Structure 1
Amino acid sequence: MVGMRDVAKQAGVSVSTVSLVVNNAGYVSDDMRAKVEAAMQSLNYIPNELARNLYRNRTNTIGVIVPTILHPFFATLTAHLQREFASRGLKTLLCSTADAATGESEYVNMLQRHMMDGIIMAAHTEHQPDYWTSIHRPIVAFDRILGAGVPAVHSDHETGGRIIARQLIDSGARHVVLVGGPRSQFTKSTTFLTVRYHLTVEQMLADAGIACDYVEAGSVTDVVAHEATAAAIFERYPDVDAIVGSDVVAAVALQEAERRGIDVPGSLQIIAYDGTMAAELAGKRLTVVRQDFPAIAAALADQMDQQIEAANKPAGKSASKQSDGAVQAERTEDSADSADSVDSGQLGIVIPVTFVPGETTR
């Protein structure tokens, strides 16, 4: 097996010079570099990736923790993240907490032992903020606040909620049913940012005097429960004239409405929140509030790059780059008070959402 010593001998240089060329570290003259590269090609030398990573104190692997990849949202997010990291020369190690007994703890342990460079945390966690802030390794949160100093990326859920509420108010909706996860997540101190769109819709509909009920569909990992809940809405609320939920909920609600002979959108409006492929396979083109998955993935990767760079820099130096299309969160006067769950200064990078009218709203 050809090694650095063989390359050094062939090129007539020292082993340290070959190491500098292989690891692209330190100064090597153009003449020396050309000799080394010619020797590498002549000997068909393939650098030892593990050795290179140890030299750089990098693994080029990012852990991505999601609740489950059965849900279309997390399947789509994971696909975009893997594509984004691959474009940056990084590998993705996936953990689905619903499908792995050890869950996030195993990944955190791997991160602390430098077996990966960082973690994207996009799953529910029972750990308190001091757990995450005590790790002192690159971590980026998605759609949740893990603690001071842990950067976060999320969609502009409050704007998404305002868009939905305005559509329903302007179209004359009288009884709206929102479908989502456990209501226990909807506390003033919640760090789960997706609830902001539900809270915003509820507040605006209440101000407009429109009836609104919230139906729990179980954990995001229980896709079957979401389907069953969407189908049961019509029995529980026979006068419902608008349903809002994830792409899965919206698609099942549309199919159930058509089975019952309910005119959509004449008698019932349906709005999906996410904009994954599931929204395109419902039978009719669903009206959706679409989250920008490419921009989310790019922002998460940018934040991870900054965290890794900062971890390898002397104290006091930090980066401030952010993705195109992303904005730093700010408190806006028209934000619903009930959606004020965490201090706005902690919100991090906010990715705009898009309203895409379809065939299920008036």
Structure 2
Amino acid sequence: MVGMRDVAKRAGVSVSSVSLVINGTGYVSRDMREKVEQAMRELDYVPNELARNFYHGKTDIIGVIVPTIQHPFFATLTAHLQHEFADRGLQTMLCSTADSANGEAQYVDMLRRHSLDALVVAAHTTHDPQYWRAIDRPVVAFDRNLGAGITQVSSDHVHGGELIAELLVRTGAHHVVMVGGPRAQFTDLGDHSTFPTVRYVQTLEDRLSQARIAHTYIESGEVFDIAGVRRAVREAFDTYPDMDAFVGADLAAAFAVQEAVSRSIAVPGDVQIIAYDGTLAADCAGMPLTTVAQDFRQIAHTIAACVEHGIESSPQRPDATDGDANMTIIPVTLHERATTRR
């Protein structure tokens, strides 16, 4: 393998001179630069990009922590993030916490050791806000409240809940059953709601209560428990024969369509089905799903912009108070289709 010493020998210069040319640091004469570049061409020398980036104090690698890539939502999010980072000359290092018990701690350690340039956290965490502030390196949270001073990007889940509630009130729903993750995780960091996503559930429940529409929430387990989602959907149909509206993430809604069809329950005549997210899973339900869609392209673009800003400037403010965390809200949209009444 050709190295810098070989280039230096061919060019008749010192290794340090070759390093200056490759890394673009310090002054080298035009004649010396031409000799080094000519020697590199003759030897087909390709600089070690990773070592070169470390020399400059950067790696161009962004760590992305998600719970699992088996779930359609996180698979879609990851795909958009990788595309967005690639467009900016950045590489993505993915960690699925469901598949790596020490993944989160390992990535935080890599960030502290400058093996990563920044970290995107889109997985559940039990660490308190001080843990994340103490990293003093760029951290961007997606749909997670990691505490004051940590940049956060989130979809407008409150509006998402309002859109579903308005639809169900307008279409005359009487008993709405929702399937989602463990409620214990909604507020497990004291006053902080770890998952901004639950705001759509909380908003929907509030609006349904105001409209005097019965509603029930069924826990489906952790996000990586796909079988648990199917069980929760089956429980909804087994336990609540008066259910005339079902709400859940795309995967749960797709399972609900399958369950209704297997029981000869008419959709939307007997039960309306509404999906939340807008991933490919919503298109594989067997019929077009009414969906509250998150804007994955805009989410990824905003996260990438926040990451770049964090790398170029101070990543976060240790003295920030709870009221001034940097949060960006991305709009959601409702697409009405065949699984709800008109």
Structures share a fold, TM > 0.5?
yes
- Tell me: CA distance 1:249–1:16, structure 2 relative to 1, closer, same or farther (3 Å): same
Residue 217 (1) aligns with residue 216 (2) = no
**1:105 counterpart SS class:** helix
**How many Å apart are 1:23 and its aligned residue?**
2.7
Deviations 1:4-29 (A, max 9, x none): 45545666777656444423456778
Q: Which residue of 2 aligns with 1:191?
A: 194
Tell me how far apart the structure 1 counterparts of residues 272 and 5 of structure 2 sit (CA, whole Å).
71
Aligned 1:1-362 pairs, distance under 5 A:
1-4=1-4, 7=7, 18-25=18-25, 36-187=36-187, 189-310=192-313, 345-346=324-325, 348-362=327-341
Note if contact 1:164-1:201 (Cα within 8 Å) is conserved in structure 2: yes
Q: Which moved more, 1:10-19 or 1:252-261?
A: 10-19
Q: Distance in 1 between matches of 2:22 and 2:145?
A: 40
CA contact (8 A) 1:185 1:195 kept: no
Amino acid at match of 1:296: I
Query: Is the contact made by 1:132 and 1:146 (CA closer than 8 Å) also made in structure 2?
Result: yes
Deviations 1:330-359 (A, max 9, x none): xxxxxxxxxxxx966436111111212221
Instruction: Quickly say closer, same or farther: Cα 1:45–1:290, change in 2 above 3 A.
Output: same
Q: Residue 357 and residue 343 in structure 1: after superposition, are their counterparts in 2 closer, same or farther (change >3 A)? A: farther
Question: TM-score, normalization: structure 1?
Answer: 0.85
CA shift in 2, pair 1:269/1:59, >3 Å: same
* Cα distance in 2, alignment partners of residues 30 and 65 from structure 1: 45
CA displacement at 1:2 relative to structure 2: 3.9
Paired residue type of 1:351:
I
Structure 2 counterpart of 1:355, one-letter code: L
Gaps of 5+ in 2: none
SS in 1 for 2:313: helix
- In 1, the alpha carbon distance for the partners of 2:308 and 2:242 equals 51
| Cα separation, partners in 2 of 1:73 and 1:38, compared to 1, 3 Å | same
How many angstroms does 1:165 deviate by? 0.8
Name the CA distance, whole Å, in 2 between partners of 1:267 and 1:27. Answer: 77
How far apart are residue 211 of structure 1 and its match? 1.2
Indicate conservation of the 8 Å contact 2:148/2:323, yes or no.
no
Deviation of 1:79 after TM superposition, in Å, equals 1.5
CA contact (8 A) 2:68 2:74 kept: yes
Q: Provide the alpha-carbon RMSD of the alignment.
A: 2.5
1:122-178 Cα offsets, whole Å, 9 max, x none, are: 111111111111111121111011122211111111111111111111111111111
Residue-by-residue CA offset, 1:266-322 (whole Å, 9 max, x unaligned):
22111100111111111001111111112111111111111111259xx99xxxxxx
Residues 19 and 281 from structure 1, CA distance in 2 versus in 1: closer, same or farther, beyond 3 angstroms?
same
Letter aligned with residue 117 of structure 2:
D
Identify the structure with bigger relative contact order (alpha carbons < 8 Å, sequence gap 6+).
2
How many residues are treated as equivalent by the alignment?
335
Distance 2:82 2:55 in 1: 25
CA distance in 1 between partners of 2:326 and 2:3 (Å)? 49
Query: Over residues 242-277 of structure 1, what are the superposed CA-to-partner deviations in whole Å (9 max), with x where a residue is unaligned?
Result: 100011110011111111111111221111001111
CA-to-aligned-CA distance 1:13-58 (integer Å, 9 cap, x gap):
7765644442345677888766654443233221122320221111
Whether the 8 Å contact between 2:289 and 2:339 is mirrored in structure 1 is: yes
- The answer to whether the Cα contact below 8 Å between 1:67 and 1:123 also exists between their aligned partners in 2 is yes
Q: Helix, strand or coil for the counterpart of 2:116?
A: coil
Once the 2 structures are TM-superposed, how far is the Cα of residue 108 of structure 1 from its aligned partner? 1.1
The alignment-based identity, stated in percent, is 59
